[in-house]
Structure 1
């Protein structure tokens, strides 16, 4: 049910009466007894109202109409991920129907139940279109389309903001786990392999396994014949290898890995052909993320780093596939690539990837680039790798502060899922996304004002899976759960609490959930309690008090 009515037309010429009944819990069945109805009446102008369902949803709405002026009536239904998007006209501030229809006219019959929409939304505006008419509504309910699956992973600490960020990242990806793994539920309902890596990392931390991942990996594999590039982007073919490696480490499915062998070996050989004798990488059409596109040095450095990581991941998979000679070959290719050290162009995204690829000193790059100005100049997609690079340099407190500032900044604007893009500078004078902003208002409509590239203003997706990185990061580095052996057969527990007093949570493995609780004691000693399922070997830090229970 809607949580509140944000706005309605006022005046005798466009009346909305009894709108509060739409907030009541009612059956989804139309009845002969008309009872207490919300009435929209047109007496010269169009009556309308704006509903807030309280949280981002994927699906549509069900409209139950008791009666009206002509046996059936026309309504205009506008969905929005922000209140202002739902209030917009098509074309206004880049408001679109791209990928999913979010602004449409529908006919509803009286004594009828009509379902409308299949998109991502939190807000819905309803307008009565017929002149000199009325409609009596019993209810307007959300039709939620999602996978009803268990959140096996969890995260709790003494910091409620971090807890909320972990949960929001998990929910963001959950909504995008449809038949395939999408990037966004409103716009970008596509399988973008590169964008998937933060999403699959989150899925591993929250759900462990889901069919949408191999289904999506195989879809793009089968649609991309070598010498083609996945999604038309060479770096995305590299990301496919990285996802395959991480997915294998999580789930340990050797049979699935064997199904990838022919394509994987062909792709590795193809990528290897773009490495020059001096270690330079010559893959065409370099791309790492949208905010970095104008920084040529950053893009080249980022792709070069990704290729190193992909060759190393490919070597590891070759070894698992009993291709030891190829494994050695691609490790040598990675070593050759490291002989050439590109410039990062002062880009945090590129610098982070260079750090993770071992091209630069992790401590120096953190001090000189990554930690400068906190959350400024990071992106929702590659911000995950900035966090990974910073924590590898031991900057756990700085990483936590960046998460609070950047992803917490979205929450402060009313977000219930994480966005395709964000900049902390947007916070200045910003209205929350559940507010209606007028021309005379001093506040800024963030959704209708900012954005860039393919996500300008209302086209901007406010539920984008690639922004979920902190969920996976908090599980890996704060809970400290890292996979050492494929299938989670061996797990290392190495918590980093930073400025937290305590943290606890679960992590899914093929054998069952691991539970950990870490408490900061005197002189910085961390006391850990660990429960691991039978068949899981746990490595623990020597300075922690540990209890391991097999169950």
Structure 2
């Protein structure tokens, strides 16, 4: 898919010579965009307000407030907490801080982020009352902004916070109007005191600056920080390419809907030439129907554009944006609105060649779909869930590697290292589980991801560095086997595909998912045997090879239907039997004739269709697999898709309202509600690019 040939800007990048505040400098190790080598990302917090404004791209810093006030360095605010995380309102945490001002500025804005319940009092007056209880979107942290100039006093002032249902908070008080990036009067840092009972006070724990930990750039954690002046987050790491709207459609009242012509990963940029602040409401959508306040997965998002400044909306995946001018229609005349694409703008090192224009377009769209998920690491999607998954990585990394070559290697490594922490989302909040992504089969996908990386890069040193992680994952997998088969635990989430019978939540069963998990485990143990052999550990290699062989024998006995010559009636199960090596070549003809070449009995996602393609190839039917590529992915293109979808139910590609068709189907699977939360740019749907390149030198 073509993109405008525009110069790539890196507004957040700085060299080691950039000014930084001593004592607050931090590092995070992220593969930078636009390069093929892993480099240490060095990001100093800027000491001067002009430098902070340059980093956020939000124009001039506010004029200096009344003389005499002590101002802190821009970007010096830190995440803090006291004691252990608070699960709910029954376990409050208290925080306090005193500060002085020589004179009260005309405008003073307080920013507060983190807990789901909080009361913030300044000089005894409550300025923030939040009783949300938990996240609205997965892992989203609420942000409260309020004007407090009428509450500050000359001389001593105090802040007192009672917070619960949280594990972290950040605060700053800025002597400027909302949205202006000025040096703060007060910030949350290690100098605050905290308490669990209001009587015994102790120093709080500091968790670094707001940008010190790149894992907070994912999964909606920093979604609302677009309203926090000076915050860059992932914008400092990735490339930026401006994109003008391809069309603009006025709506009722004071609104307009912008179409940017294709799905992007990015944000809205608004430049103001007005002498007063502008107030906007934005509703983002991957489809036109989603771009409304009631249906947008993000819900309506507000944006204050300071007079004569530049402001940015939240980072997400979208094509359409409905903008409501809250101050009236005349407001639009002084605003310039465009998109800021935020992604890895990598050069292609390989290009698929074919006389069939449709196949070429499918390849290009597959690559672009995977590319939008290449953020700090490989995410499943830029809209939802904005997080890494080892099964998704298996497909999207293969596609990215086919197009971008070795430039993908540091990103895959970073993703593997994050995944092995086993942090996942339960009830909207992060938790640490026993399995990768808290899904058993994703243990084996992690091993297979590592194997793909090693087979491509040959990096023996990196492989050796992951030896202990490998053993830990394999030990967990062994505890989940019984008589050579995966023993399903009904208390966990089991997943093979978004299709009836292919997944289950706690308290349910899904026999087909258990079968496929067993097959994937067989591949995982087999790949582990190969990897330990490469590391010179013959004993471990032999041990895991024996386990893999035992699984294969058990699966053949338990799951193979001698009457039909197949592994049951489901396409996913038979495709994985072939792809994993469980199926014997003597069984290929029956599996292809009766299952793979027939319409599926239940829904198959574009993710699992990749394994169907590979299974068709293995059984000797590549031509039919290519026809399936045209049918499935070509069908999405016929529906005007510019990226490939998370799910592709029968009939949705030809529906009048594609988005509504997709969410109706997705809601049947996982009870997501009325908002368009399904992803229309999902990395796991990018498989054709990897598959098609297999036939090209």
TM-score for both structures, normalised by structure 1: 0.72
Are positions 1:320 and 2:320 aligned together?
no
- The CA deviation string for residues 144-184 of structure 1, in whole angstroms up to 9 with x for no partner, is 11122211121020111111111111111111111121111
Instruction: Name stretches of at least 5 consecutive residues in structure 2 with no aligned partner.
Output: 1-242, 424-430, 560-566
TM-aligned CA deviation for residue 140 of structure 1: 1.3
Are positions 1:296 and 2:501 aligned together?
no
CA distance, structure 1, for counterparts of residue 519 and residue 459 of structure 2: 27
| Alignment-derived partner of residue 471 in structure 2 | 265
TM-aligned CA deviation for residue 448 of structure 1: 5.4
TM-aligned CA deviation for residue 142 of structure 1: 1.0
| Alignment-derived partner of residue 216 in structure 1 | 415
TM-aligned CA deviation for residue 241 of structure 1: 0.6
- Whichever structure has more helix as a proportion of its residues is 1
- The CA deviation string for residues 54-102 of structure 1, in whole angstroms up to 9 with x for no partner, is 111111121123338xx2232111211111111x223x4xx432xxxx6
Are positions 1:127 and 2:324 aligned together?
yes
The number of equivalent residue pairs is 422
Are positions 1:467 and 2:685 aligned together?
yes
Residue 462 to residue 227, structure 1, CA distance change in 2 (3 Å): closer
Contact 1:208/1:251 (8 A) holds in 2: no
| Alignment-derived partner of residue 68 in structure 2 | none
Please give the root-mean-square deviation of Cα atoms over the aligned residues, in Å.
2.5
Please, which of 222, 247, 261 is the counterpart of residue 5 of structure 1?
Answer: 247
| Alignment-derived partner of residue 531 in structure 1 | none
Q: Which has the higher contact order (CA 8 A, sep 6+)?
A: 1
CA distance, structure 2, for counterparts of residue 196 and residue 367 of structure 1: 30
How do 1:176-325 and structure 2 match up within 5 A? 176-209=373-406, 210=408, 211-223=410-422, 228-276=434-482, 278-282=483-487, 284=489, 285=492, 286-291=494-499, 292-293=502-503, 296-325=510-539
TM-score for both structures, normalised by structure 2: 0.57
Residue 108 to residue 328, structure 1, CA distance change in 2 (3 Å): same
TM-aligned CA deviation for residue 223 of structure 1: 4.2
CA distance, structure 2, for counterparts of residue 193 and residue 59 of structure 1: 24
Residue 132 to residue 427, structure 1, CA distance change in 2 (3 Å): closer
Residue 474 to residue 132, structure 1, CA distance change in 2 (3 Å): closer
| Alignment-derived partner of residue 620 in structure 2 | 394
TM-aligned CA deviation for residue 272 of structure 1: 2.9
Please, which of 49, 52, 60 is the counterpart of residue 256 of structure 2?
Answer: 49
CA distance, structure 2, for counterparts of residue 411 and residue 397 of structure 1: 20
CA distance, structure 1, for counterparts of residue 600 and residue 663 of structure 2: 26
CA distance, structure 1, for counterparts of residue 658 and residue 433 of structure 2: 47
TM-aligned CA deviation for residue 53 of structure 1: 0.7
CA distance, structure 2, for counterparts of residue 153 and residue 363 of structure 1: 34
CA distance, structure 1, for counterparts of residue 453 and residue 385 of structure 2: 23
CA distance, structure 2, for counterparts of residue 132 and residue 250 of structure 1: 55
CA distance, structure 1, for counterparts of residue 640 and residue 460 of structure 2: 43
| Alignment-derived partner of residue 373 in structure 1 | 599
CA distance, structure 2, for counterparts of residue 415 and residue 255 of structure 1: 41
CA distance, structure 1, for counterparts of residue 385 and residue 622 of structure 2: 33
| Alignment-derived partner of residue 174 in structure 1 | 371
Residue 136 to residue 221, structure 1, CA distance change in 2 (3 Å): same
| Alignment-derived partner of residue 491 in structure 1 | none
TM-aligned CA deviation for residue 195 of structure 1: 1.8
Instruction: Name stretches of at least 5 consecutive residues in structure 1 with no aligned partner.
Output: 11-45, 434-444, 480-515, 517-551
CA distance, structure 2, for counterparts of residue 96 and residue 227 of structure 1: 27
CA distance, structure 2, for counterparts of residue 287 and residue 132 of structure 1: 49
Are positions 1:61 and 2:268 aligned together?
yes
CA distance, structure 2, for counterparts of residue 8 and residue 389 of structure 1: 49
| Alignment-derived partner of residue 303 in structure 2 | 106
Contact 1:235/1:306 (8 A) holds in 2: yes
Residue 57 to residue 147, structure 1, CA distance change in 2 (3 Å): same
Contact 1:2/1:51 (8 A) holds in 2: no
